[in-house]
Amino acid sequence: MNCDTKCPAIRQVMFPKDTNPSGNIFGGIILSHIDVAGAIAARLHSKHRMVTVCMKEVVFKKPVKVGDILTCWTDVVAKGRTSVTVKIRVEAERHGEVIHVTDGEAIYVAVDSQDRPIALDSEIVTDNKGDIAPATPAAPTAPASTDEKSEKKGKKEKKEKKNKKGKKDKKGKKGKK
Ligand X SMILES: CC(C)(COP(=O)(O)OP(=O)(O)OC[C@H]1O[C@@H](n2cnc3c(N)ncnc32)[C@H](O)[C@@H]1OP(=O)(O)O)[C@@H](O)C(=O)NCCC(=O)NCCS
Least gap, CB of 20 to ligand X (angstroms): 23
Report the 10 Å Cβ neighbour count for 55: 15
DSSP classification of residue 126: B
- Closest separation between CB of residue 88 and ligand X, Å? 15
List 11's β-bridge partners, or say none. 71
104-124 burial string, b = 16+ CB within 10 Å, else e? Answer: bbbbbbbbbbeeebbebebee
Smaller CB separation from ligand X, 115 or 127: 115
Q: Rule CB under 6 A: is residue 115 a binding residue for ligand X? A: yes
**Shortest CB 53 distance to ligand X, Å:** 4
Q: Which of 24, 46, 71, 83 binds ligand X (CB under 6 A)?
A: 83
Spatial contact of 117 and 123, defined as CB atoms under 8 Å apart: no
Map the footprint of ligand X across residues 43-82, applying CB under 6 A: 51-54, 80-82
Task: Report the chain's C-alpha Rg in angstroms.
Answer: 31
Q: Would you say 81 or 158 has its CB closer to ligand X?
A: 81
Which helix (H) or strand (E) segment is 87 a member of? strand 83-94
Least distance in Å: CB of 85 to ligand X?
A: 8
Stretch that binds ligand X, among 20-28, 98-106, 107-115, 153-161 (CB under 6 A): 107-115
**By the criterion CB under 6 A, which residues form the site for ligand X?**
51-54, 80-83, 107, 109, 111, 115, 117
